[in-house]
Amino acid sequence: MKNKPSQKQAHKQGGQKSGPQTKAVHAGEPLRHGVGTSVGPSICRSSTFTFSSTAEMKRWAEGKSKAYIYTRYGNPTLAVVEEKIAALEGAEAAVVTASGMAAISHILFCALKAGDELISTAQVYGGTYRLLRDVFPGLGIKVHHVETDLAGMEELVTPRTKALYVETPTNPTLRLVDLHKAIAFAKKHKLVSIIDNTFATPVLQNPIAMGFDIVVHSATKALAGHSDIIAGVAVGNKEWMERMRHMVIYLGGSMDPDAAFLLNRGIKTLGLRVARQCENALAVAKFLEKHPKVERVHYPGLPSHPDHALAKEQMRGFGSMLAFDVKGGLPAARRFCDRVQLFLVAASLGGVESLVVLPAYTSHYNMSEKELLRAGVAPGTVRVSIGVEDSADLIADLDQALA
């Protein structure tokens, strides 16, 4: 039977002593030397795997064998990308899922049960917010919200509080959570600490090294980087990831091997893409901040951003995402989006192409005016995902669309 690539092989080229871009290229993949050896890893497009005998089948059922038997339980192609992401995040293990929301929901179900309570920042991705608002109460899980400054957390803790969930930078207005403060609070109250690291990526921020228990990503975004798959991942220690893997088996949120192959391929250029996107985003943010038709720019790389100092302290760059509020509110924001030419009007982020959307119609739909205000979404807010195009061309398109 087929077994996972050994840690020894993977770490010879992409292990903990390697730099992040080396890990992005080589971690999780076996050494490839010799005549005729393929450079790229293969895709294992099998739903099921054979046993050598009924005795081996019995060993697997008793938990004495790590053999692959069915792709929902594990697959060699998935194992490669799981090792790669774990290495990038500096964690013991990772589990990939069919989507970012599968990663978020599955790990929260690992940490919480009926009667438990969760403290979460209110400023999170709209899909996460709606999960906590619309699904968790029906499961007997109570959710308390705090702002990104974490004020009032202590008053919310009860004996039933089991986890802390944060997202930083936030979607869509790029507010930051002080990670040291969050970790200290979680450790003080013995809470499981979970963070959505999608916007920052492992290139700019490593919460596990800072003390977080679990990191989640919508791997659809910057990790994959090419707008061609839906994927998610949870990262943490072996114990939590074993629980996560069983939750994926129970709930069925497993990743397809072809998606895993594309995710692995995308990660190989993650550092290169993020560096270019950060450079472009800062240039675009500076342009927008001076534009007479822009009321406000949300980008932590600008000194005007309320969390600029914190971003410089706990991130290695300011990211590819920004938002801005157009003067004239929703009608003006809609006119802008309808006029862009190089930018695409699309609801994802983190890819090589630049995108614009109205959060109120996409990521933060089905939210009240009060909820949108708390999330920092004004009627004229436009969210921008910066790609790897030439910054001069991006600025020219924004200029004509705002004219």
Burial class (CB in 10 A: 0-12, 13-18, 19+), 29: buried
167 SS3 class: strand
324 SS3 class: strand
Residues marked as catalytic: 72, 125, 196, 221
Residue partners of 341: CB distance under 8 A and separation at least 6: 397, 400, 401
CA of 228: how far to CAs of 42, 50, 157, 220, 296, in Å? Answer: 19, 31, 41, 8, 32
Enumerate the β-bridge partners of residue 321.
385
d(CA 28, CA 81): 6
Enumerate the β-bridge partners of residue 97.
232
Are 376 and 360 in contact by the 8 Å Cβ rule? The answer is no
Q: What DSSP letter does each residue of 94-120 carry, written as one string?
A: EEEESSHHHHHHHHHHHH--TT-EEEE
d(CA 342, CA 385): 12
Are 235 and 89 in contact by the 8 Å Cβ rule? The answer is yes
Are 219 and 100 in contact by the 8 Å Cβ rule? The answer is yes
CA of 158: how far to CAs of 115, 135, 149, 162, 248, in Å? Answer: 11, 21, 20, 9, 29
Are 23 and 84 in contact by the 8 Å Cβ rule? The answer is yes
